[in-house]
Structure 1
Amino acid sequence: MSTKDYLEKDYYKVLGVSKTATKDEIKQSYRKLARKYHPDANTGDSAAEDRFKEISEAYNVLSDEKRRKEYDDARSLFGGSYRPGGGTGAGDFNLGDLFGQGTGTAGGGGERLSDLFGGLFGGRGGRASTQARRGADVETETKLTFTEAAKGVTRSFQLTSESACPTCQGTGAKVGTTPRVCPKCSGTGHENKNLGGFSLSEPCSECKGRGLVVDDPCATCHGSGRGKSTRTIQARIPAGVTDGQRIRIKGKGAPGERGGPAGDLFVVVHVQQHQLFGKTGDNLTITVPVTFPEATLGADVRVPTLNGLPVTVKIPPGTPNGRTFRVRGKGTQRRDGTAGDLLVTVEVAVPQNLNGAAREALENFRAATADQDPRSDLEARAKGA
């Protein structure tokens, strides 16, 4: 807000007091109006919020003797009569000339006004810190079975976070009283620290960043305006999450202040291993044992899936150990609604116990295939031939 805007405001009128009002009269009027128009008592009412800002701005100036004198001196330059544009009548002042924006010759007056308002409002426009604030983010953990992680699941979370104090409704002040705008930061909640060549904005040391000062604190929250609350929420964990993944659930964190949005909930997921299935990307993996005759002669093998409905995989004759087959659409669900695949790797099972007939059959098989030595060229290849 510019200096010109302040000249057009009558802070005495805003608070409903006379120009000769005492400090106690100003304070009493402010408390009455602030209680009526405070944002916490008028949730969603932008007009009431604007009125509260105006009241806080006026009180911030008139409650401070030095600032009140500077304000009175500034307005006395106009003798109580001014025109925003530029007038030529008696008693009319051209604000453009006074601020160095017009063609008049009141340069000295402009410098004086700049000095006055630079000290009065500190370049911040006296804006009260009544803006909505976003709630804090909250982080928690959850354990999922392999199936829950693959398919997605709805979980209940019991969260403990800060919210508005139930006794004072977030004002931090004792019931029946109202906090006042911080005189040090003019309600902005921050102050500039000169570091020589540049300045650093940091939370106000007087109000700790709240923008408000509590003279008579609430006995429950001791003036902080915040209290601990425990709540249970339902949150959906999407399908396809992996172990250690951090899921963001928007708007499920701590509640905001003064009508601000809630923060986000971050859930770190821990997924248990499955005794049969594995996962790579959007695909599920499984190792299926097959017999030597099945791998050699071919077979149709039933393979379980995560949804409980088995599929049949055709194993062609001469399938080597470790070969992988792809079953389309039997993996985990993707964000676009499609599904990954099931990767089936065959493992030739070597029998541990053979009866007489089986042993005799294998001996006959070995004799019949004696001329088929799969290692015949290994030594030659090892020598680089």
Structure 2
Amino acid sequence: MSKRDYYDVLGLKKGASADEIKKGYRKKAKELHPDRNADNPDAESQFKEANEAYDVLKDPEKKAAYDRFGHAAFEGGMGGGGGGPRPGAGGPQGDFASAFSDVFDDLFGDFMGGGGRGGRSRAARGADLRYNLRVTLEEAYNGLSKTITVPTSVACGACSGSGAEGGAEPTTCPTCSGMGKVRATQGFFTVERTCPTCSGLGQIIKNPCNECGGNGRVQRERALSVNIPAGVETGTRIRLAGEGEAGMRGGPPGDLYIFVEVTKHEIFDREGVNLHCRVPVSMTSAALGGDIEVPTIAGGRSRVAIPAGSQSGRQMRLRGKGMPALRGGGHGDMFIELAVETPVNLTSRQKELLREFEDLSEDNNPESKSFFKSVKGFWDAMKG
């Protein structure tokens, strides 16, 4: 009897993607597993056939060979040593090792879990949630209390989270006798897997709640008040224990993690607890010196004295005017960086005065004088 096409075995079209192959295999494995088909004598052979098909199609190299040559790719008739072993060859051990490895990894995902043999979780813990929160630099400086709205799963009010109509108690699963797992003997192996009837909970609900469909939880939007401490930075994570999704059938809730992002400020640049502020000053103020007023993140003002002859890039420190440390320890500093501004849109009189100033400025630009002296020495050396 000729082999069936592997894509047909898994109910797929030729050339299906890796995700489609995985989903098709899971569906077929659940449908054909011998434990769920005790009255079907062909279930075991069909289950092996599905595993054999998946063993080939999940492997990119095997899949490429099969797509090109079909079953002949694995029957040693291609020449050049290219075929490799036929899927399922090597006796029962090779067949079942591959098949049940896939069942472990791809179908049930929680084999041998639940704390060892016979272990189970009657009430599964809810999932953790993530919430991205954007705050301004001023809010990060002062700290704030903020109300956020989080879409999540909450305990069903109609059944008090039990999943049973009227809040009735679940009954022991008859398939696994409350153990949450069943054992199956396949060839040389005895495999323990999650009970397909109760999904490992060890209990079943005879009359599911109409409101939640037996899950014990429903989707809702929940408003939460969150305290954001002063000094938070982008990437700060705040954990709210028990504020995640409700657990299945009365299980403990997960946690809510708030990830903070501090938005960019138009005046201040942040570096840890320190702030940087670039302040433009006029050419005359930089040359003659004087006082300027600069803003602080707290909303106040500070006077800064500019020394005469200041150049662009000169920095001055205002101690304690930076951001607060997140876990105490005072405040950082604020650094003022001067940007000497060249005047534009000059009048005729201003140009005249600047030319006159230039004629009188032979000894007022020491850096330029030193630079061009070095340049002249460089040129002279090149000529020599």
Q: Classify the TM-score, shorter chain.
A: 0.5 to 0.7
Query: Partners in 2 of 1:350 and 1:127 — Cα distance?
Result: 77
Tell me the SS of whatever aligns to 2:293: strand
CA distance in 1, matches of 2:343, 2:147: 48
Q: Which amino acid aligns with 1:344?
A: I
Q: Do residues 301 (structure 1) and 292 (structure 2) align?
A: yes
2:109 is matched with: none
CA contact (8 A) 1:323 1:346 kept: yes
SS for the counterpart of 2:264 is coil
What residue number does 1:238 align with? 229
Give the Cα–Cα distance (whole angstroms) in 1 for the partners of residues 294 and 286 of structure 2. 15
- What per-residue deviation string (whole Å, max 9, x for no partner) do you get for residues 109-148 of structure 1? xxxxxxxxxxxxxx979778456x5432112233323322
Count of aligned positions: 261
Partner Cα separation in structure 1 for residue 215 and residue 207 of structure 2:
12
Say what the alpha-carbon RMSD is for the aligned residues: 3.6
Corresponding residue for 2:345? 353
Change (3 A) 1:197 1:362: farther
Match of 2:127, SS state, is coil
Aligned: 1:292 with 2:283: yes
Residue from 244, 251, 262 that aligns with 1:253: 244
CA distance 1:146–1:199, shift in 2 (3 Å): farther
Q: Summarize the alignment of residues 142-181 of structure 1 with structure 2, pairs less than 5 Å apart.
A: 142-175=133-166, 177-181=168-172
Deviations 1:323-355 (A, max 9, x none): 122211111121233222112110001111334
Q: Which residue of 2 aligns with 1:99?
A: none
Q: What SS does structure 1 have at the residue aligned with 2:355?
A: helix
Give the counterpart of 2:256 among 252, 255, 265.
265
Q: Distance in 2 between matches of 1:189 and 1:320?
A: 76
2:317 aligned counterpart, secondary structure:
strand
Query: Structure 1 CA distance, aligned partners of 2:274 and 2:168?
Result: 62
Residue 259 to residue 365, structure 1, CA distance change in 2 (3 Å): same
1:322 equivalent among 313, 326, 330: 313
- Whole-Å separation in 1 of the counterparts to 2:375 and 2:186: 77
Structure 1: stretches of 5+ with no match in the other structure: 1-122
Structure 1 residue 175: Cα displacement: 2.2
| Structure-2 residue corresponding to 1:376 | 372
Deviations 1:214-266 (A, max 9, x none): 122222222222222332101123334445x2623222323456876542222
Amino acid at match of 2:281: V
Q: Which has the larger radius of gyration?
A: 1
**1:249 alignment partner AA:** R
Deviates more, 1:284-293 or 1:214-223: 214-223
Q: Is the 8 A contact 1:126 1:187 kept in 2?
A: no
Structure 2 partner of 1:339:
331
Amino acid at match of 2:284: P
Helix, strand or coil at the partner of 1:375 = helix
Q: Which residue of 2 aligns with 1:92?
A: none
Scaled by the length of structure 2, what TM-score is found? 0.58
* TM-score, length of structure 1 as denominator length: 0.57
Residues of 2 paired with 1:194 and 1:348: CA distance?
84
Match of 1:104 in 2: none
1:358-383 Cα distance to aligned partner (Å, 9 max, x none): 44443332222225535323425766
Q: Taking structure 1 as reference, are residues 278 and 375 closer, same or farther at Cα in structure 2, changes over 3 Å only? A: same
In 2, the alpha carbon distance for the partners of 1:312 and 1:151 equals 22
Pairing 1:1-385 to 2, within 5 Å after superposition = 129-130=121-122, 134-175=125-166, 177-190=168-181, 203-243=194-234, 245=235, 247-251=237-241, 252-256=243-247, 262-337=253-328, 338-355=330-347, 358-371=350-363, 372=365, 373-380=369-376
Structure 2: unaligned runs, 5 residues or longer: 1-114
**Contact 2:143–2:229 (Cα < 8 Å) also in 1:** yes
- Asked if 1 retains the 8 angstrom alpha-carbon contact of 2:232 and 2:326, the reply is no
Q: Distance in 2 between matches of 1:312 and 1:193?
A: 81
Q: Distance in 1 between matches of 2:269 and 2:263?
A: 11
Provide the C-alpha distance between the structure 2 equivalents of 1:199 and 1:297, rounded to a whole number of angstroms. 91
Give the distance between the partners of 1:255 and 1:188, measured in 2 at CA.
23
In 1: Cα distance, 2:203 partner to 2:217 partner: 14
TM-aligned CA deviation for residue 316 of structure 1: 1.8
Please state how far the C-alpha of 1:290 moved relative to its aligned partner: 1.1
Partner of 2:346, secondary structure, is coil
Structure 2 CA distance for aligned equivalents of residues 384 and 264 of structure 1: 74
CA distance in structure 1 between the partners assigned to 2:310 and 2:187 by the alignment = 77
**Aligned mates of 1:197, 1:288 — CA distance in 2:** 79
Note the C-alpha offset of 1:271: 3.8
Q: Equivalents in 1 of 2:260, 2:191: separation in Å?
A: 39
The 3 A distance-change label for structure 1 pair 177 and 249 is closer
